[in-house]
Amino acid sequence: MKNNAGGRPGAVDPGLGAGGGDEWKKATGSRIRVNQVGYLPTGPKGATVVTRSNEPLPWQLRDANGRVVAGGRSTPRGTDQASGQNVQTVDFSRYDRQGRGYTLRMDGQTSLPFDISAQNYAKLRNSAFRFFYHQRSGTPILASLVGEKYARPAGHVGVGANGDDSDVPCQPGVCKYRLDVHGGWYDAADHGKYVVNGGLAVSQLFGTWERAKHSRTGDPKALGDGTLSIPEHRNGVPDVLDEARWEMEFLLRMQVPSGNPLAGMAHHKMHDRAWTGLPMAPQDDPQPRELHRPSTAATLNLAAAGAQCARVFAPYDKAFANRCLGAAKTAWAAAKRHPKLYAPDSDSTGGGAYGDANVTDEFYWAAAELALTTGERPYLDAMRASPLHKAQVFTPVGFGWQSVAPVARLDLATVPGKVPASERRAAQASVVRAANSYLATQRGQAYGLPMPGGPEYYGWGSNSNVLNNLAVLSTAYDITGKDAYRTGALQGMDYLLGRNALNQSYVTGYGKKVSHNLHSRAFAHELDKRLPPPPPGFLAGGPNTALQDPVAQQRLAGCKPQLCYVDDIQSYSTNEYAINWNSALVWMTSFVADQGTGAGRGRV
């Protein structure tokens, strides 16, 4: 199992400003940390309180009018490893009356307000989905859908000095052809488009739909046609699939055409020849665009995502489904011919490197998805022959673009496909074992997240790692119906939405103390007040103990893991966003929203 850095190694942006002082030592507001978005009526409700006391303390839950509606005594937890703070926890899960503006009071402190509501997460789910429309390349972002504040012309369509993604050459020495690779999503704050990040992100959107269709609490109507503000709504196709198709089409265009060297492989990435500064709207980017060398990892991402695409689109667009499957099979065969064409860490000028020198997990993922879709013997044999097939692929740190075997395992456990029932049962047992280990970890974390507290667990994109561990817990609930897994998944969301050492919601637009200066070229309000901040629903990368940018190094030196974050536009190693982080947010907010409605809830 590869170590998952979770982010963009080699992606070093220029022009960073200076900061000052020990940012992590500054006051963080109320010492009572709660989920600022709110709690479901039928779910866990917990808070973490920073205090000098080591004795249980009385607490009160008050409604918006200040009336005491519940009370009790806190549980001392000692010094939290991830924050260095002496903390206690409060559990008010028994209170289930819906309302807005609740607060907790304890130890002379009052928390930020929060709701108890079954509706809040449906709104958050839609905002997390809308992130991808904002990231679309090659099309105007329409004011009628996002408002004048966030509307913009199409980027990279060859207007003026702007590059034309429909006619992109290779880096010198890579190839002699040009490709039309328009469309897709901009990966993150830069204007690059990367197949390995795109493959995981589109897979998680496809997976969100498959979970909605097949799980005990899934609600496909909530993701159906007309549910999102995108141009394709009301076209007879579920909106989540329409949005995912925008990226899938790009992935297909990145495949090397037949008759060329490395035919069937996928180019690893395409982006600007040199880094641009901040701010820089996509339509203003003056840098030439280039295709980078194909890689085995990118090719297998195309194979896996293409096989999944074929499954989910078959009821809606058979021709597109067949196109996806054909590309997936071609990519698989090409990767088998070129199994060690690795993307180097050194290719980091103008865009992230996304280096990867171990593709065992990509081979396993692609074989599993092709087997689920086709049931054909070569893919089943390849899946079973993988050293990962019977291995424990889930690790404490979570998974991401550099460690995709867990994606294969989750799909094998949950997707009704063309693999034997014995394979499904084995995958389900693996997921449940992993979920049990995450619950054990979570019980030891006073901030309630299913990830250990050591500095090695808080890397680039740590928030997405937390979300992906929560997806394992959610899947275990879908498999078993046991409330412990549902409770663990819901509780873990609290961390991302304010119940953390910084009292910080990491999702833009959701919470009172919330990230809003995310590292971005397009939404650079911190640098230019004429520009908007990021729209609601963007997930910040989160604490990163490696401090891989100058602002973090200057302002966070000596920080404890959960405090290694700064809401500064120039802190790209703690405060960027990325498509594969928001796809994890989509998956989990969809799960939580379904629990709020109670759709299909059952027991075994």
Cα separations in angstroms, 196 against 303, 323, 432, 440: 11, 20, 27, 31
Per-residue confidence (pLDDT) for residue 27, from 0 to 100: 75
CA distance 553 to 559: 10
Residue given tokens 């047992």 in the structure block: 429
On the question of pLDDT at 600 being above 60, the answer is no
In this structure, what are the phi and psi dihedrals at residue 170, rounded to the nearest 5 degrees?
-85, 160
**pLDDT tens digit sequence for 184-217:** 999 999 999 999 999 999 999 999 999 999 999 9
In this structure, what are the phi and psi dihedrals at residue 336, rounded to the nearest 5 degrees?
-65, -35
The pTM for the full model equals 0.95
The amino acid that residue 545 corresponds to is T
Per-residue confidence (pLDDT) for residue 2, from 0 to 100: 40
Average pLDDT (17-21) is 33
**pLDDT tens digit sequence for 373-414:** 999 999 999 999 999 999 999 999 999 999 999 999 999 999
Per-residue confidence (pLDDT) for residue 26, from 0 to 100: 63
Per-residue confidence (pLDDT) for residue 417, from 0 to 100: 87
Per-residue confidence (pLDDT) for residue 312, from 0 to 100: 98
Q: How confident is the model at residue 11 (pLDDT cuts 50, 70, 90)?
A: very low
Per-residue confidence (pLDDT) for residue 21, from 0 to 100: 41
Residue given tokens 């000028």 in the structure block: 349
Per-residue confidence (pLDDT) for residue 596, from 0 to 100: 81
**Coil/strand/helix, residue 597:** helix
Per-residue confidence (pLDDT) for residue 25, from 0 to 100: 61
| Catalytic annotation, pick one of 361, 362, 567, 568 | 567
CA distance 215 to 205: 15
Give me 79's structure tokens: 């010094």
| Catalytic annotation, pick one of 80, 165, 190, 285 | 190
On the question of pLDDT at 111 being above 50, the answer is yes
| Catalytic annotation, pick one of 519, 526, 549, 594 | 519
**pLDDT tens digit sequence for 484-543:** 999 999 999 999 999 999 999 999 999 999 999 999 999 999 999 999 999 999 999 999
**pLDDT tens digit sequence for 533-558:** 999 999 999 999 999 999 999 999 99
Q: How confident is the model at residue 10 (pLDDT cuts 50, 70, 90)?
A: very low
**pLDDT tens digit sequence for 303-354:** 999 999 999 999 999 999 999 999 999 999 999 999 999 999 999 999 999 9
Write down the H helix ranges in 30-165: 120-134, 143-146
CA distance 183 to 50: 47
**Coil/strand/helix, residue 137:** coil
Q: Where are the beta strands (DSSP E) in 28-153?
A: 32-33, 46-50, 58-62, 68-73, 75-79, 86-91, 99-106, 109-110, 114-116
Per-residue confidence (pLDDT) for residue 4, from 0 to 100: 38
For residue 528, indicate whether it is catalytic. no
Per-residue confidence (pLDDT) for residue 6, from 0 to 100: 41
Residue that wins the pLDDT comparison between 597 and 72: 72
Least confident span in 120-124, 310-314, 454-458, 593-597: 593-597
CA distance 132 to 135: 5
Percent of the chain beyond pLDDT 70? Answer: 94
On the question of pLDDT at 14 being above 70, the answer is no
Mean pLDDT, the chain, as a whole number? 94
Contact between residue 54 and residue 7 where contact means Cβ atoms under 8 Å apart? no
Give me 43's structure tokens: 């779910």
Per-residue confidence (pLDDT) for residue 598, from 0 to 100: 52
Q: How confident is the model at residue 599 (pLDDT cuts 50, 70, 90)?
A: very low
Residue that wins the pLDDT comparison between 258 and 28: 258
On the question of pLDDT at 16 being above 90, the answer is no
For residue 567, indicate whether it is catalytic. yes
Residue-level length of the chain: 604
The amino acid that residue 562 corresponds to is Q
For residue 519, indicate whether it is catalytic. yes
CA distance 35 to 92: 13
Question: Which of 365, 554, 555, 396 has its CA nearest to residue 462?
Answer: 396
**pLDDT tens digit sequence for 284-301:** 999 999 999 999 999 999
For residue 190, indicate whether it is catalytic. yes
Average pLDDT (75-80) is 98
End-to-end CA distance of the chain: 32
On the question of pLDDT at 451 being above 60, the answer is yes
Give me 151's structure tokens: 């509307």
Average pLDDT (165-174) is 97
Per-residue confidence (pLDDT) for residue 354, from 0 to 100: 97
